[in-house]
C-alpha cells in the first residue's frame, strides 16, 4: 500500500477526535527544525469548518476492541492500514516545512495489545525528537491499559497527552465499551496530572527539569450516545479540571457510524448541544463559574436557545443591573457581553476617568447583550423598563435567533476570547 | 504657513518624520508617502530623508517615555498603511509623551482607538498568515512562499519563521507589493521582487502537495459539512496560494 493510500485511510479514521489545539507550549528550536507558538496556530479549515492545526492521524486503525461508538471497532468492515514510525516522521517533516501544519497529533487503534501500540507511538516520537531534531508541537494519545512507565516516556517527548474518556459514566462505559475498564482510563489521567504538578514543583528547585507534556493533558466526551444529562457532563468536566489538573475537555456530538442496538438512532449529530456544552465549559475555565450555578434540580440540561451565560444572567436578574463605573472585576465578568479582556480594560480605563456609554463599545464590550444588565454613569440604556419578563422576551427575540445560526462557531476554532 | 511632509514610506523614514515634528514643533498639514508629490500653492512640500540615527532616537524616546508596548503597537499600526495612520500617530505620541505609559489605558481616546484598531488588523493578519502561508520546495532546496497580504506584513511574518526554520533556506514573497524577505545565514533581508530568480519546483513538491490535499479531504466530517463556517475562518481571498484549495 502506498503512502498516499495509507494517509487517506488513517486520516479518515482519526477525524472523530475533536482536539486540534496546538497552544500552550513554548518549545524552542535547538539546532533542528520547528518550535511551538504558545498561542497555537490554525493552518487551515476543513470543509466542516473545523480548524486544522496538526497532522491528525492514527498510527493504525486496526483494533482488537469493539467499542460500539467507534468507527474503528473490530467488527466494522472497513479498509485497515498501519504506518511505520519513519513514514509518520517523514510526513510530519515534509508537511511542517511547507507550513501545512503546526505539528503532529498521533492517535491509534489498539493493535495486538495496549503496550505494543504505545511502544510504536513512543518509537515514532523518539524518532522525530531525537533523530530528526523536530521541535514542533506533538500531541500523543495515551492508550488505555498501557503501562504508566511507557506513558511517562511518551510524556517526556510530547507537548500534550490525552486519554479519551469518551463516555460520561461508568455504566455507559461498561455497556458500550465492555473491553475497556474505567480504571484503565482514569489511572493514566491521574498519573499524568500528578506528574505535571510534580514537574512544576521540581522546576522551582532544579533548573534543568525536563519538559513533561508542557501543554497539559486533555480528554474527550461523546455527547448524545448515552442518557447522561448536561448537569452530569458539566459536573464531570469540572471535577476533571479540579482533580486531574486537566487543561481541556472536548465534547463530541455523537454520530452513529454503524447501527447498534445499544445506541440511539440519530439522523444528525446534536451540534447545538455540543456548542452549548463548550460555552458552559468556557464559563468554568475563564469566568469563574461553578458547575452548580448553571443547573437547577428541575433543569438538569442547558437551555439550548441561549448561551449559558445569558441564561444564568436572566435567571439571576436580582443581581443586576450593575454600574460599569463601580462594579468589581468579578461582577463585570458576569455580565453577558463582557469577557475577561473587556472587564480588565474597563477596570484599567476607569482609573483614567469615568466611562461614558459611548466609550463602551470601543473597549470591546458587546452592548447588544450587555445593555440589559448594566447602568453607565447611573443610567439604564436598554430603552425598556428593567423587568424580568420584558427583558427575557426581548433577549430571546433579539439574540436567540441569530445565535442559533452561529452554532458551533465558537467551539471549533482556536478562538481565545469568549 | 503649513507644510506637507513627504517621506519614503519606510518605518525609518516615518520615525525620522516624527523626529522633525517634535524637534521643530511642526505638525504637517499632510503626510505623503512615496517620492512624488504635487506642487501646491498653499502648502510647502518638505521631503524628509530617512535617517537611522534620528529614527533610533525616536524609538528610544518612545520606549523610555511611554512604553515598549506603545512602540510595538505603533509599528504594527504603521504597517497597516491605512489612510491617516501617520497623522494619528503624531497625536498619539504627543499625548503619550505628555502622559506616559498610562495613556495607553485610555481605551476611549480617539488616537488610542485608531492606532489600536490599525495594529489589531495587522496583528490579526500576521497571525493568520503564520498559519496560511504555504511554502513550496524549489529545485535549489529553497522553500518559497508567495502570498498577497492586505497589509505590509512580510517582515513580521518572516520573523515568525526565523527560529522555526533556522536550518533551512527560505523566502517569502509579497506578490501584491512585489517585495520579498529572504532568510540567509540567520539574517532577514528585504529585497525587491525583481531580484528573485525564476521559480522552479523540486521534483518531490508535487507528491507533498497531493498528500496534503489527500489529508485535507479525508479529515473533514461529511455530516458536519459547513462551507460557510470554513469561509468565515478562511476567506476566499486567501485561497489563491493555498495548496489545499487549488
Complex-level ipTM beyond the 0.90 threshold: yes
Do both A17 and A160 map to the same domain? yes
- CA-to-CA dists, residue B50 to A44, A410, B5, B19, angstroms: 40, 46, 12, 11
Do both A109 and A194 map to the same domain? yes
* CB proximity A32 to B under 8 Å: yes
Do both A212 and A323 map to the same domain? no
Do both A350 and A281 map to the same domain? no
Inter-chain touch B218–A362, beta carbons under 8 Å = no
Q: Between vectors from CA B82 to CA B79 and to CA B84, what angle results, nearest 5°?
A: 115
CB B96 within 8 A of CB B58: no
Within 8 A by CB and 6+ apart from A307, the residues are A276, A279, A336, A403
A329-377: pLDDT as tens digits:
999 999 999 999 999 999 998 888 899 998 898 888 889 889 999 999 9
Backbone angle region of B209, left / alpha / beta, with phi > 0 → left and psi within -120 to 50 → alpha: alpha
Query: Half-sphere exposure of A183 toward its Cβ, with a 13 Å CA cutoff?
Result: 1
Inter-chain touch A11–B133, beta carbons under 8 Å = no
Residues of A (124-143) whose Cβ lies below 8 Å from B: 136
Give me the tens of pLDDT residue by residue for chain B, a chain 246 residues long. Answer: 578 899 998 999 999 999 999 998 888 888 988 765 566 667 788 889 999 999 999 999 999 999 999 999 999 999 999 999 999 999 999 999 999 999 988 878 899 999 999 999 999 999 999 999 999 999 999 999 999 999 999 999 999 999 999 999 999 999 999 999 999 888 999 999 998 888 999 999 999 999 999 999 999 998 889 999 999 999 999 999 999 998
* CB proximity A377 to B under 8 Å: no
The continuous run of DSSP H or E covering B75 comes out as helix B68-79
By three-state DSSP, how is residue B70 classified?
Answer: helix
Instruction: Extract long-range pairs of B82-85: CB within 8 Å, 24+ residues apart.
Output: B82/B118, B82/B121, B84/B114, B85/B114, B85/B115, B85/B118
Q: Which of A260, A288, A316 is the last residue of a domain?
A: A288
Q: Which residues of B touch A50 (CB under 8 A)?
A: 220-221, 224
A8-57: pLDDT as tens digits:
999 999 998 888 889 989 999 989 999 999 999 999 999 999 999 999 99
Closest CA to B154 of B185, B187, B189: B189
**Cross-chain CB nearest to B229 (options A4, A34, A49):** A49
Report the distance separating Cα A220 and Cα A249, nearest Å.
Answer: 6
In 3-state terms chain B splits into helix, strand, coil percentages (rounded to 5) of 55, 15, 30
Do both A408 and A271 map to the same domain? no
Is residue A341 domain-resident? yes
CB A156 within 8 A of CB A125: no
Distance of CA A210 to the CA centre of its chain: 26
A135-161: pLDDT as tens digits:
999 999 999 999 999 999 999 999 999
CB B151 within 8 A of CB B79: yes
Residues of B (91-120) whose Cβ lies below 8 Å from A: 102, 105-108, 113
Inter-chain touch A47–B230, beta carbons under 8 Å = yes
Closest CA to A281 of A239, A316, A238: A238
When divided into structural domains, chain A yields a total of 2
By three-state DSSP, how is residue A160 classified?
Answer: strand
Inter-chain touch B214–A55, beta carbons under 8 Å = no
* CB proximity B201 to A under 8 Å: no
Report the distance separating Cα A336 and Cα A316, nearest Å.
Answer: 12
CB A81 within 8 A of CB A6: yes
Q: Which cell goes with B7?
A: 517621506
A186-238: pLDDT as tens digits:
999 999 999 999 988 888 888 788 889 999 999 999 999 999 999 999 999 99
Q: What range defines the domain where residue A169 resides?
A: 3-288
Is residue A73 domain-resident? yes
Closest CA to B128 of B241, B226, B225, B218: B241
By three-state DSSP, how is residue A10 classified?
Answer: helix
Q: Which cell goes with A226?
A: 448515552
Q: Which of B96, B170, B209, B233 to mutate to test the interface with A (most CBs of A within 10 A)?
A: B233
Do both A251 and A336 map to the same domain? no
Q: Which cell goes with A282?
A: 468556557
Do both A218 and A140 map to the same domain? yes
* CB proximity A408 to B under 8 Å: yes
* CB proximity B236 to A under 8 Å: no
Inter-chain touch A34–B164, beta carbons under 8 Å = yes
- CA-to-CA dists, residue A200 to A151, A207, A209, A212, angstroms: 18, 11, 9, 9
Number of continuous H segments (helices) and E segments (strands) in chain A: 16, 10
Is residue A297 domain-resident? no
Closest CA to A339 of A279, A396, A402, A388: A279
Is residue A172 domain-resident? yes
Closest CA to A410 of A49, A28, A98, A27: A49
Q: What is the CATH number of the domain that holds A247?
A: 3.20.20.70
* CB proximity A116 to B under 8 Å: no
Share above pLDDT 70 across residues of chain A, in percent, rounded to a whole number: 95
Q: Which residues of B touch A98 (CB under 8 A)?
A: 134-137, 143, 208, 212, 243
Q: Report domain extents, chain B.
A: 3-125, 133-245
Inter-chain touch B127–A39, beta carbons under 8 Å = yes
Report the distance separating Cα A5 and Cα A8, nearest Å.
Answer: 5
Do both A312 and A283 map to the same domain? no
Q: Which of A253, A288, A323 is the last residue of a domain?
A: A288
Do both A326 and A217 map to the same domain? no
Residues of A (53-82) whose Cβ lies below 8 Å from B: 53, 55-57
For cell 492500514, the residue is: A81
Q: Which cell goes with B128?
A: 493568520
* CB proximity B216 to A under 8 Å: yes
Q: Which of A233, A254, A288 is the last residue of a domain?
A: A288
Amino acid at each position: 500500500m502506498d503512502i498516499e493510500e495509507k494517509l487517506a485511510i488513517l486520516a479518515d479514521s482519526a477525524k472523530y477526535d475533536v482536539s486540534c489545539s496546538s497552544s500552550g507550549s513554548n518549545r524552542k528550536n535547538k539546532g533542528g527544525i520547528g518550535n511551538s507558538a504558545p498561542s497555537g496556530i490554525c493552518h487551515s479549515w476543513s470543509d466542516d469548518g473545523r480548524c486544522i492545526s496538526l497532522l491528525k492521524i492514527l498510527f493504525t486503525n486496526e483494533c482488537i476492541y469493539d467499542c460500539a461508538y467507534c468507527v474503528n471497532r473490530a467488527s466494522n468492515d472497513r479498509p485497515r492500514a498501519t504506518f511505520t514510525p519513519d513514514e509518520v516522521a517523514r510526513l510530519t517533516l515534509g508537511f511542517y516545512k511547507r507550513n501545512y501544519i503546526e505539528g503532529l497529533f498521533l492517535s491509534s487503534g489498539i493493535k495486538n495489545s495496549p503496550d505494543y501500540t504505545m511502544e510504536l507511538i513512543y518509537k515514532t516520537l523518539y524518532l522525530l525528537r531525537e533523530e530528526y531534531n523536530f521541535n514542533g508541537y506533538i500531541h500523543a494519545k495515551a492508550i488505555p491499559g498501557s503501562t504508566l512507565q511507557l506513558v511517562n516516556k511518551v510524556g517526556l517527548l510530547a507537548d500534550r497527552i490525552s486519554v479519551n474518556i469518551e463516555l460520561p459514566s461508568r455504566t455507559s462505559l461498561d455497556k458500550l465499551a465492555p473491553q475497556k475498564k474505567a480504571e484503565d482510563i482514569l489511572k493514566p489521567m491521574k498519573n499524568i496530572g500528578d506528574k505535571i504538578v510534580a514537574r512544576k514543583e521540581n522546576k522551582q528547585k532544579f533548573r534543568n527539569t525536563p519538559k513533561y507534556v508542557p501543554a497539559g493533558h486533555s480528554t474527550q466526551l461523546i455527547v448524545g450516545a448515552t442518557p447522561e444529562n448536561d448537569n452530569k457532563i458539566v459536573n464531570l468536566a469540572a471535577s476533571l479540571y479540579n482533580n486531574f489538573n486537566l487543561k481541556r475537555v472536548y465534547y463530541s456530538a455523537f454520530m452513529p457510524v454503524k447501527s447498534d442496538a445499544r445506541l440511539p438512532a440519530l439522523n444528525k449529530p446534536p451540534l447545538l448541544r455540543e456548542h452549548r456544552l463548550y460555552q458552559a465549559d468556557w464559563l468554568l475555565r475563564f469566568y469563574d463559574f461553578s458547575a452548580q450555578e448553571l443547573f437547577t434540580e428541575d433543569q438538569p440540561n442547558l437551555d439550548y436557545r441561549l448561551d449559558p451565560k445569558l441564561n444564568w444572567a436572566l435567571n439571576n436578574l436580582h443581581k443586576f443591573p450593575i454600574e460599569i463605573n463601580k462594579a468589581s472585576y468579578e461582577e463585570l465578568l458576569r455580565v453577558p457581553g463582557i469577557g475577561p479582556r473587556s472587564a480588565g480594560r474597563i477596570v484599567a480605563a476607569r482609573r483614567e476617568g469615568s466611562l461614558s456609554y459611548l466609550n463602551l463599545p470601543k473597549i470591546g464590550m458587546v452592548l447588544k447583550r450587555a445593555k440589559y444588565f448594566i447602568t453607565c454613569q447611573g443610567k439604564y440604556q436598554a430603552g425598556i423598563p428593567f423587568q424580568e419578563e420584558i427583558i427575557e422576551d426581548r433577549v430571546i427575540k433579539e439574540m436567540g435567533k441569530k445565535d442559533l445560526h452561529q452554532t458551533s462557531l465558537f467551539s471549533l476554532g482556536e478562538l481565545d476570547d469568549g | 504657513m503649513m507644510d506637507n511632509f513627504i517621506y519614503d514610506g519606510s518605518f525609518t523614514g516615518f520615525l525620522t518624520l516624527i523626529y522633525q515634528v517634535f524637534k521643530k514643533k511642526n505638525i504637517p498639514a499632510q503626510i505623503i508617502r512615496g517620492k512624488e508629490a504635487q506642487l501646491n500653492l498653499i502648502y510647502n512640500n518638505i521631503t524628509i530623508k530617512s535617517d537611522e540615527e534620528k529614527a533610533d532616537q525616536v524609538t528610544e524616546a518612545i520606549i523610555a517615555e511611554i512604553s515598549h508596548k506603545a512602540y510595538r503597537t505603533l509599528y504594527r499600526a504603521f504597517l497597516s498603511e491605512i489612510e491617516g495612520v501617520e497623522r494619528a500617530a503624531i497625536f498619539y505620541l504627543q499625548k503619550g509623551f505628555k502622559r506616559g505609559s498610562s495613556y495607553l489605558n485610555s481605551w476611549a481616546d480617539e488616537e488610542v482607538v485608531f492606532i489600536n484598531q490599525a495594529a489589531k488588523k495587522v496583528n490579526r493578519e500576521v497571525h493568520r498568515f503564520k498559519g496560511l502561508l504555504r511554502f513550496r520546495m524549489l529545485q535549489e532546496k529553497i522553500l518559497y512562499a508567495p502570498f498577497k497580504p492586505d497589509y505590509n506584513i512580510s517582515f513580521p511574518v518572516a520573523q515568525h519563521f526565523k527560529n522555526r526554520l533556522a536550518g533551512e533556506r527560505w523566502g517569502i514573497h509579497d506578490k501584491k507589493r512585489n517585495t520579498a524577505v529572504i532568510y540567509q545565514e540567520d539574517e532577514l533581508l528585504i529585497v525587491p521582487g525583481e531580484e528573485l530568480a525564476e521559480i522552479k519546483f523540486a521534483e518531490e513538491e508535487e507528491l507533498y502537495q497531493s498528500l496534503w490535499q489527500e489529508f485535507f479531504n479525508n479529515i473533514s466530517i461529511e455530516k458536519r459539512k459547513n462551507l460557510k463556517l470554513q469561509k468565515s475562518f478562511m476567506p476566499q481571498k486567501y485561497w489563491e496560494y493555498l495548496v489545499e484549495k487549488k
